[in-house]
């Protein structure tokens, strides 16, 4: 998916090709010429709208379907003024997902907003250019722009007030919510919660973040001692406030945690630590939530926000499977969520059940701490090296500014995503042949997804099932961390694991790196069965080729979800915040539109 300089007309030709296509496109759109619109896309062409025309995240495939969807959306949003955005990265010939294409960032407007987009043209046999993909993105709502740059606040909260409240006094009063309820309650204060709160704050929407931990950043700070990010720093910034250029390529967890604290303070986010959502219900008539919050001292507070945003991550409560004999084990049992360090286990025996990132890292840490540790594999896992993993973020190494890279990242609809990940995964396997062959020789079971799309699609589809190797693979290959297969184990017994051959694998410690429950379970627990069923599955790709119920309206009005990496949280917090603002200003209804399935994509 890297830049490709072969077959490169001069810049004038590229710009002219983009201008010509956009003029024809706008003419066909304004004249409601369905045949003309369809003729501008190649067979298999794709249009992805990110809130600009449909007020939704929606992917449409094939020229006729695209023409119909565009005309339907244009009837209410009146898109116009399509042009090449000359202040952003200029048109380039690149290769995306194996397709050679002329890629350009465009701009236009609708009745409600200013918009951007990415157009990718490919040549046909006659020498013409047709659209392979068109992505349209909402950038700002007219009259409700973010309070940044020239629009930065300069009012009473920042003025000198001799004899009165200063800025700190006002911040403490505002964040106490003693006399009001927030418009938006964000549950979870990690990167997703911080990003959406920052975006909403700049749109002048009263937002409160709550988190069960004692300090901002504890969702990273309390994780295992050796944890460091697996992707390079360049893609990992939060909105408005980039990491310093002095930061290391791979950022340690405690550095991230401390940054989160600084970020919340610098962005003036209203944040309650040691606070949990106990329960909530939706008032259909009032179109708001009634929620009960429990503070650190046990006191409860009832609030009535209009919007409830879950930012707890794609995975929530620890999942512990029904394992035979687990209740008989006499040693210490920890879910990987509660594992922090191998200190204290030197010279003792440990078993780690699970071969994802948490399982490998826990086993690696225990080994380096002097424990005698074995890794138990229940199902196959995907494996890539840390170095190969950076291919997933190669877009951010191409040179465009990060805002342009973020826009280009949204311009990868589901069919292109699948093809791109298949190509990248094949290259990763080529680069990682040594460790993959070595693991197979040890009996390690591995897979790269049902369609060979690799670990990133595993993350999108199921939230795990892979390991990014930072050294544990060689420990397994060299026999320093023995590998056991679950199907060879009969049950757990007081002393460890009873094997089917009658021997016992002794253990003082058992780490269950068995994953987490999904978000729908958490919704059911906190908001009840009706809301959970009305919402439906959360995360994983739906039949429409978008992540199910993420970053957009759901079947339950006023209920929103955000999750993912720092990059994903930064990118999609923008579009989620714009939708909530549009609802608040009466520009967009709370009810979610009916999703349109992609051809050939099962739910």
pLDDT tens digits along 9-29:
456 789 999 999 999 999 999
Average pLDDT score, the chain: 94
* Strand-pair category, 113-123 with 129-141: antiparallel
Q: Are 176 and 269 in contact (CB under 8 A)?
A: no
The reported pLDDT for the residue numbered 162 is: 79
**What is the fold of 321-514?**
FAD/NAD(P)-binding domain (3.50.50)
Cα–Cα distances (Å) from 347 to 184, 369, 506, in that order, read 51, 9, 13
Closest by Cα among 542, 557, 541, 547 to 592 = 557
The residues, ordered by sequence, that sit 6+ positions from 498 with a Cβ below 8 Å of its Cβ are: 325, 489, 490, 491, 492, 504
Task: Using alpha carbons, list the distances in angstroms from residue 132 to 62, 327, 446, 482, 486.
Answer: 10, 57, 34, 49, 46
CA dist., res. 82 & res. 499, Å (int): 67
Could you tell me which residues are beta bridge partners of residue 308? 185, 559
* CATH architecture under which domain 181-316+518-584 falls: 3-Layer(bba) Sandwich (3.50)
Q: In the sheet where 276-283 sits, what is the strand order?
A: 276-283, 288-294, 300-303
Residue 215 burial (CB count, 10 A): 16
Does the domain at 11-141 match CATH 3.10.290.10? Answer given as no
Confidence of residue 2 (pLDDT cuts 50, 70, 90): very low
CA 583: distance to chain centroid? 23
Give the pLDDT score at 128.
87
- Residue 158 pLDDT exceeds 70: no
When pLDDT is cut at 50, 70 and 90, the band that residue 392 belongs to is very high
Which residues are within 8 A (CB) of 344 and not within 5 positions of it... i.e. 6 or more apart? none
Instruction: Report the C-alpha gap between 247 and 402 in whole angstroms.
Output: 16
Q: Which of 192, 255, 21 is nearest to 574 (CA)?
A: 192
Q: Per-residue confidence at 250, pLDDT binned at 50, 70, 90?
A: very high
Average pLDDT of the residues in 341-358:
96
pLDDT band of residue 126 (cuts 50, 70, 90) is confident
Distance CA(104)–CA(404), nearest Å, equals: 11
Which residues in the chain are classed under CATH 3.50.50.60?
A: 181-316+518-584, 321-514
Per-residue HEC secondary structure of 244-305 comes to CCCCCCCCEHHHHHHHHHHHHHHCCCEEECCCEEEEEEEECCCCEEEEEEECCCCCEEEECC
Task: Tell me the helix, strand and coil percentages in the chain, rounded to 5.
Answer: 35, 25, 40
Greater pLDDT, 596 or 442? 442
441-479 pLDDT per residue, tens: 999 999 999 899 999 999 999 889 999 999 999 999 999
Write the burial class of residue 443 (CB in 10 Å: 0-12 exposed, 13-18 middle, 19+ buried): exposed
pLDDT tier, 125 (very low <50, low <70, confident <90, very high otherwise): confident
Question: CATH 3.10.450.50 residue ranges in the chain?
Answer: 11-141
Percent of the chain whose predicted confidence (pLDDT) is above 70: 97
> 154 pLDDT exceeds 90?
no
Measured from the Cβ of residue 433, the count of other Cβ atoms closer than 10 Å reads: 10
Q: What is the spatial distance between Cα 132 and Cα 415, in angstroms, rounded to a whole number?
A: 11
Q: Which residues pair with 374 in a beta bridge?
A: 351
Which of 152-161, 481-490, 552-561 is predicted least confidently?
152-161
6 pLDDT above the threshold of 70: no
% of residues, the chain, pLDDT over 90: 89
Which residues pair with residue 42 across a beta bridge? none
pLDDT in tens, 279-295: 999 999 999 999 999 99
Q: Using an 8 Å Cβ cutoff, are 382 and 445 in contact?
A: no
C-alpha count within 13 angstroms, C-beta hemisphere, residue 282: 20
When pLDDT is cut at 50, 70 and 90, the band that residue 102 belongs to is: very high
Residue 3: pLDDT band by 50, 70, 90 thresholds?
very low
47-56, 100-109, 153-162, 411-420: range with lowest mean pLDDT:
153-162
Is the predicted pLDDT of residue 398 greater than 50, yes or no?
A: yes
pLDDT recorded at residue 594: 83
> Tens digit of pLDDT for each residue in 180-193?
999 999 999 999 99
Q: How confident is the model at residue 317 (pLDDT cuts 50, 70, 90)?
A: confident
Token pair, residue 333, equals 């049992």
């Amino acid at each position: 998916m890297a830049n490709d300089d072969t077959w490169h007309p001069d810049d004038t030709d590229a710009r002219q090709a983009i201008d010509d296509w956009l003029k024809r496109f706008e003419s066909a759109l304004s004249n409601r010429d369905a045949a003309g619109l369809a003729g501008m896309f190649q067979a298999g062409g794709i249009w992805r709208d990110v809130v600009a025309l449909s007020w939704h995240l929606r992917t449409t495939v094939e020229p006729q379907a695209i023409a119909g969807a565009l005309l339907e959306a244009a009837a209410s949003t009146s898109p116009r003024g399509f042009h090449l955005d000359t202040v952003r990265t200029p048109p380039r010939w690149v290769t995306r997902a194996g397709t050679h294409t002329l890629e350009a960032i465009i701009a236009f407007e609708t009745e409600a907003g200013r918009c951007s987009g990415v157009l990718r043209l490919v040549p046909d046999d006659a020498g013409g250019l047709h659209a392979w993909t068109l992505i349209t993105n909402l950038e700002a709502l007219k009259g409700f722009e973010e309070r940044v740059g020239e629009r930065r606040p300069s009012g009473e909260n920042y003025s000198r007030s001799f004899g009165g409240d200063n800025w700190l006094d006002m911040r403490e009063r505002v964040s106490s919510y003693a006399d009001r309820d927030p418009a938006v309650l964000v549950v979870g204060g990690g990167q997703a919660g911080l990003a959406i709160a920052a975006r909403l704050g700049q749109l002048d929407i009263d937002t409160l973040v709550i988190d069960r931990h004692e300090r901002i950043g504890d969702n990273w700070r309390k994780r295992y001692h050796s944890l460091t990010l697996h992707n390079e720093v360049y893609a990992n910034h939060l909105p408005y406030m980039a990491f310093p250029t002095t930061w290391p390529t791979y950022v340690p967890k405690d550095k991230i945690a401390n940054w989160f604290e600084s970020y919340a303070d610098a962005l003036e986010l209203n944040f309650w630590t040691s606070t949990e959502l106990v329960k909530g219900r939706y008032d259909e008539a009032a179109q708001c939530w009634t929620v009960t919050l429990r503070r650190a001292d046990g006191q409860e507070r009832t609030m009535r926000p209009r919007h409830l945003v879950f930012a707890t991550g794609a995975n929530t409560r620890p999942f512990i499977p029904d394992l035979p004999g687990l209740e008989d084990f006499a040693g210490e049992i920890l879910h990987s969520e509660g594992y922090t360090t191998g200190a204290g286990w030197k010279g003792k025996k440990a078993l780690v059940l699970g071969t994802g990132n948490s399982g490998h890292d826990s086993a690696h840490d225990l080994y380096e701490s002097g424990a005698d540790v074995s890794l138990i594999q229940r199902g196959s896992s995907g494996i890539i090296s840390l170095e190969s993993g950076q291919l997933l973020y190669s877009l951010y190494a191409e040179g465009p500014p990060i805002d342009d890279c973020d826009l280009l990242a949204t311009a990868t609809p589901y069919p292109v995503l699948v093809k791109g990940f298949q190509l990248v995964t094949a290259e990763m396997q080529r680069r990682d042949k040594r460790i993959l062959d070595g693991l197979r020789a040890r009996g390690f079971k591995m897979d790269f997804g049902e369609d060979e799309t690799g670990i990133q699609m595993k993350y999108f589809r199921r939230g795990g099932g892979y390991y990014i190797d930072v050294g544990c693979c060689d420990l397994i290959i060299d026999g320093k961390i023995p590998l056991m297969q679950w199907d060879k184990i009969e049950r757990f017994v007081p002393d460890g694991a009873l094997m089917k051959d009658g021997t016992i694998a002794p253990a003082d410690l058992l780490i269950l790196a068995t994953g987490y429950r999904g978000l729908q379970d958490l919704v059911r627990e906190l908001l009840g069965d009706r809301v959970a069923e009305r919402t439906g599955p959360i995360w994983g790709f739906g039949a429409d080729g978008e992540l199910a119920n993420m970053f957009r309206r759901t079947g339950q009005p006023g209920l929103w979800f955000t999750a993912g990496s720092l990059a994903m949280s930064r990118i999609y917090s923008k579009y989620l915040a714009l939708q909530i603002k549009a609802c608040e200003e009466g520009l967009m209804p709370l009810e979610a539109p009916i999703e349109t399935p992609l051809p050939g994509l099962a739910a």
